[in-house]
A and B are shown apart, each in its own frame.
Chain A
Amino acid sequence: MPERGPYLVALAGQQNAGKSTLFNMLTGLTQHIANYPGVTVDKKSGSYFAEGRRYEVVDLPGCYSLAAFSLEERVARKFLLEDRPDVVVNVIDATNLRRSLPLTFQLLEMGFKVVIALNMMDSAERRGLEIDIAHLERRLCVPVVPVVGRKGRGEAELRAAITKAAVSEHVTPATLNYGSLEEAVARFQAGIAADAAFQDVSARWLSVKLLEGDSEAETFLGVRLDNPHGMLDEVYKARDAFEAKQGLSSGDHISGCRDRHAAEIIAASVTDSKAGQVPVSERIDRVLLNRFAAPLFLLATVWAIYQLSIVQGYELTKITWPFLASFRNLMAGILPDAGFLTDPQIRSLGLWIVDSINTLLNYVPIFLILFALIAILEDSGYMARIAFILDRILHRFGLHGQSTLPFILAGVFAGGCAVPGVMATKGIPDARARLATILTVPFMNCMAKIPLYTLLINIYFPEAKGLMLFYLSTITVVVAMLVAKLLTSSVLRNEETAPFVMELPSYHLPTLTGVARRSFDRTWLYIKKVGTVVVAIAIVIYVLLQFPGVPAEKQLAYQAEAEAAVAQFYETLYGNPLRAAVEDPARLVDLINVSSAYKAARLNAGSKSAVEAMDVTLAEDHPDFVPFVLRSRDADAKAANKALRDLSKQRSTLRREMRSDRIEASFLGSIGRAMEPVTQFADFDWKINIALLSSFAARESSVATLGVLFDQDEGENATLEERMGEQQAGEGRTAVSAVALMLFFALYPPCLATVIMVRVQTASTRWMVFSIIFPTLFGLAVASAVFTGATALGLTGLQTMSTVWLAALGLLLIVALPKPWLPDFLPGGTREAAE
């Protein structure tokens, strides 16, 4: 035991008992809290000081026992065994004592100094439970501290109890007697205690675990002993003998003893003054989970989320966008000025990064609302009910009731983000369903897919916008289900599965701070993604697009044209008194820059008075440029204004041609071209290939890259839709090509940030690579098949999309509907694949 170092305190307890709440209370940190079992899956640590000593607190995931069947249990058990905390605070939900005490018995058996934090005393009082704390303490021989984690009640007492336990030398012996198995337990206990190999573990605990038939305990024996077979054989013999005699397995007997002991203690210490009354939550559920009303409530909830976050959120972005735009204009002013033909590298790169960040930040209002609403769903307890309602459907496709939350976060209703979606799969207890969820969550329509859809729909389907968007947002869900089914019955077939057994938490009223905090936390996570990965990748893509640059001889030709244009400008203004202001060519470049900055700011100006104010500033800062930039009636000024506009136009054209040349010659351009032989079947040309490649960095950038490729220049007003539509039409591309592209984009691999999250969540590089390769091939196959098929049949874009949608839906129904002729699909008659 460390003398001067910090004391290690572990918070252990069942799911949803309030461990994280108490953790936050003790350490002042902000661990995620939700009224949903299994929120904390990893352990998290923090610390506080008391009486000059540091107490390191670890928040363990919730576990019902220490049987090591689920991931959370394994994490908790491993920590307890390997780190041997000085004090274990056993957090217990006071309204659920009977189910909680067996874990307490196990902790005591492991030989820990235990402090019981009897949490949710407020709920217990409301339920009419009177708990005799003194009696509980006497029976369990450990301190029991009543607390209300949510309100911070009992905090001082809990700290005092922890300190007292930490400094005391006394360890409470386990009090549970295993009746007819006690003799065997004692026998092995003595044997283990005598063995030097087991000095650091509790002999009684190991003995009980072995008799329970715990496989990890058996493995542990193998690790510690050179030849464990002697002891193992004895254990098997004892187990068999017990079962033969009692007609009951020793494991069942042990668990039954714990349960009966808990029941006994509770019978003597708890009085239920409201026994027989129907709890409030159940009364609510009678309405919300009513067979017929439940789907309606669910639909209404989903609709409300969509309305509030996506629809209203977009309204909000209209307010926030001008701020981002003025940030860009500000940066444009700070960075070195643009040249006539080429800009300083630092300026182009700076603006490129600002643009990437702005595109992402634009979604922040939507995220804040969406995440707040989801936090409300989680906190209130309704999320668990959603899992209950939808499990039947999701299970059909190899998923799990708890896959609902990840899908919602990732954007079932068009507009989410796969990163929090993949993160939220942590709580799914079924490994196979969890992997299937992780791999299909990226199919959802994250917010970054929407701009490309909108762009293409505006170009090719202006009269069927709503229908196309409906097709796209539903087909992704359909495909996700089908792919989940495909994966779970092929590559994931041999993964471990777990039952769907979940406790429905009582309804809580969500707290404002809790909801706000979670919403900010999740949004912040998204912004961090912008700050790191996306910026880094934006730079890489920038480099790939800029270099090796325009070939030298072409560069010279452009230079000559530019000089000619400038000469033309001076020529036109020959004899015009205003020419004096720009006699120096450097001043001319200044003029052009001032003029384009003015235009950009003017686009962003909201009101007439703002424009007037800008005019005044311009007149103050650059009085000699005013006649060039602002329109006026004076003949000389008119001529100057026109000359400048002509020059700007020529400059735009030159810059556009140059940029297009540069991209074509760039590294990314070469890659895009090299891919054409494969992608031609889906009718993607090199420009589209480049956009798709760059969208791997972040989906958002696909539209930005297309924007560059289908050029835009500082003074131009044609929208990207017009430019792209025109150029693509010129190259013979039709709406069918657009459908193929959109389908590919819908099925396209997750963006880089998501891929990294997949790596984190699956802890496997293999699955990460799979999550990239599979959707690429799948998407390309679908896009090629659709394009080739539709072209052969001569379908229009809309017909193609409708056909694909109906085909997918039909396939979904075939997979989903019960097939009585296949015994495997009989409800309840399915085989468990694991055994």
Chain B
Amino acid sequence: MRRRVFQAMGLGRGNGVGRGGRQKGYRCRDACCRERDDINLNDIVPGEVCRICRLHGCGSVRQRLLDLGFQPGREVKVVRNAPLYDPIELQLGDSFIVLRRREAAHIEVTHA
């Protein structure tokens, strides 16, 4: 049931959207990222700051991200990669949050 609803909302993309998995011609509806080449948090190099456009995915991942403050419009700084590249550490406001790259792929951003 819930799944149906999510699909209806256009949020049925439960897949971790890696670089290869992005649908062609997909457009972000938010005003902040009208450009063609939408990027996600994985594309940001450590030290850079970016702004969140929207979240993909559904269910608990999405909820947890929203609860932690990954709200569209907020600024995020990528602090560092783990020694083995994955996960990554982010700074959101005053808190430091660790995220796997698979989850980071759910967060669509633009350069701030």
**Which A residues are closer than 8 A to B by beta carbons?**
64-65, 67, 69-70, 95-96, 98-99, 102, 127, 213, 215, 218, 236, 239-240, 243, 247, 249, 252, 255-256, 259-260, 279, 281-282, 285, 289, 291-292, 294-295, 384, 387-389, 391-393, 395, 401, 498-504, 826-832, 834-835
Are the C-beta atoms of A501 and B64 separated by less than 8 Å?
A: yes
Q: Which residues of B sit under 8 angstroms from A259, Cβ to Cβ?
A: 66, 69, 71, 74
A70, A215, A388, A828: residue with the most chain B Cβ atoms closer than 10 Å:
A828
Q: Given that A499-B102, A831-B16 are known contacts, is A64 also in contact with B9, CB under 8 Å in the complex?
A: no
Are B103 and A236 interface neighbours, CB within 8 A? Answer: no
Measured between alpha carbons, how far is A409 from B18 in the docked complex, in Å? 35
Let me know if B2 is at the binding interface, CB within 8 A.
Answer: yes
CB-based contact B98/A503 at 8 Å:
yes
| CB–CB A213/B89 < 8 A | no
Q: How far is the CA of A829 from the CA of B101 in the complex (A)?
A: 10
Known: A64-B67, A499-B64. A835 touches B59 (CB 8 A): yes
Shortest CB-to-CB span from A96 to chain B, Å, is 6
Task: Flag if B83 contacts A295 (CB, 8 Å).
Answer: yes
A501 touches B65 (CB 8 A): yes
Contact of B69 with A294 in the complex, beta carbons under 8 Å: no
A302 to chain B, nearest CB (A): 15
Q: Does the CB pair A828–B102 fall under 8 Å?
A: yes
Partner of A501, one of B19, B85, B97: B97
**In the complex with contacts A98-B93, A389-B82, A830-B102 CB distance below 8 A:** yes
* Cα–Cα distance between A360 and B15 once the two chains are bound (Å): 50
Chain A neighbourhood of B5, CB < 8 A: 213, 236, 239
Residue of A243, A294, A501 near B9 (CB, 8 A) is A243
Contact A502 B98 (CB under 8 A): yes
Q: Is B79 part of the binding interface, using a Cβ–Cβ cutoff of 8 Å? A: yes
Say yes or no: A499-B100 contact (C-beta < 8 A), given A99-B95, A834-B59, A835-B3. Answer: yes
Q: Is the CB of B71 within 8 A of A827?
A: no
B59: chain A residues at CB < 8 Å are: 69, 834-835
B44-100 contacts to A (CB < 8 Å):
55, 58-61, 63-69, 71-72, 74, 79-87, 89, 91, 93-100
Q: Are B87 and A391 in contact, with the CB atoms below 8 A?
A: yes
Complex partner residue of A504 from B6, B67, B93, B96, CB under 8 angstroms:
B96
- Name the contact of B63 in the complex, choosing from A69, A240, A828 (C-beta under 8 A): A69
Neighbouring B residues of A213 by C-beta, 8 Å: 2, 5-6
Inter-chain pairs besides A289-B83, A499-B60, A500-B99, 13 sampled, C-beta below 8 Å: A67-B67, A70-B60, A239-B9, A240-B8, A252-B55, A289-B89, A392-B87, A498-B61, A504-B98, A827-B18, A828-B105, A829-B19, A835-B3
Closest CB in chain A relative to B102 CB, distance in Å = 5
- Which 7 A-B residue pairings sit nearest by Cβ, starting from the closest? A64-B67, A835-B14, A69-B60, A828-B18, A829-B18, A392-B84, A504-B96
Report whether A65 and B9 are in contact in the complex, using a CB–CB cutoff of 8 Å. no
| Residue pair B2, A215 in contact (C-beta under 8 Å) | yes
Rounded to whole angstroms, the CA-CA distance of A617 and B82 in the bound complex is 67
Q: Is A256's CB under 8 angstroms from B67's CB?
A: no
Q: A69-B60, A828-B101, A834-B59 in contact; A256/B96 too (CB < 8 A)?
A: no
B110 contacts A by Cβ under 8 Å: no
- Assembled-state Cα–Cα distance A499/B68 (Å): 13
Report yes or no: A499 in contact with B61, Cβ–Cβ below 8 A: yes
- Across the interface, do B89 and A96 meet the contact criterion of CB distance under 8 Å? no
B68 touches A255 (CB 8 A): no
B20 an interface residue at 8 Å Cβ cutoff? Answer: yes
Whether the Cβ atoms of A504 and B89 lie closer than 8 Å is yes
State in angstroms the CA–CA spacing of A252 and B54 once bound together. Answer: 10
Inter-subunit contact A498/B60 (CB<8 Å): yes
**Is B24 in contact with chain A by the CB < 8 A criterion?**
no
Q: Are A832 and B14 in contact (CB under 8 A)?
A: yes
- In the bound complex, CA of A404 to CA of B30 (Å): 40
| Complex contact A501–B68 (CB within 8 A) | yes
Closest B residue by C-beta to A395: B100
Residue A389 contacts which of B1, B11, B58, B83 (CB distance < 8 angstroms)? B83
> Complex formed: what's the CA distance from A835 to B87 in Å?
22
In the bound complex, residues from chain A placing their C-beta under 8 Å from that of B80 are 285, 289, 291
Q: How far is the CB of A219 from chain B (nearest CB, A)?
A: 10
Question: Which residue of A is nearest B31, CB measured?
Answer: A247
CB distance from A532 to the nearest CB of B (A): 38
B94, A95: Cβ atoms closer than 8 Å: yes
Instruction: Kindly provide the distance from the CB of A802 to the nearest chain B CB, expressed in whole angstroms.
Output: 29
Closest Cβ neighbor of B79 among chain A residues? A282
Residues of A within 8 A of B20 (CB): 826, 829
**Distance between B88 CB and nearest chain A CB, rounded to angstroms:** 9
Q: Is the CB of A501 within 8 A of B99?
A: yes
Can you give 25 A-B contacts (C-beta < 8 A)?
A: A64-B64, A64-B68, A67-B67, A69-B59, A96-B95, A98-B69, A99-B67, A213-B6, A259-B74, A285-B80, A388-B89, A391-B86, A391-B98, A392-B84, A395-B86, A499-B100, A501-B64, A502-B98, A503-B97, A828-B19, A828-B86, A830-B16, A832-B15, A835-B58, A835-B59
Are B98 and A501 in contact (CB-based, < 8 A)?
yes
A231 nearest CB across to chain B (Å): 14
What residues of chain B lie closer than 8 Å to A387, measured between beta carbons?
98
Query: In this complex, what residue of A is CB-closest to B2?
Result: A215
Contact B60 A282 (CB under 8 A): no
Closest chain-B Cβ to A371's Cβ sits at a distance in Å of 26
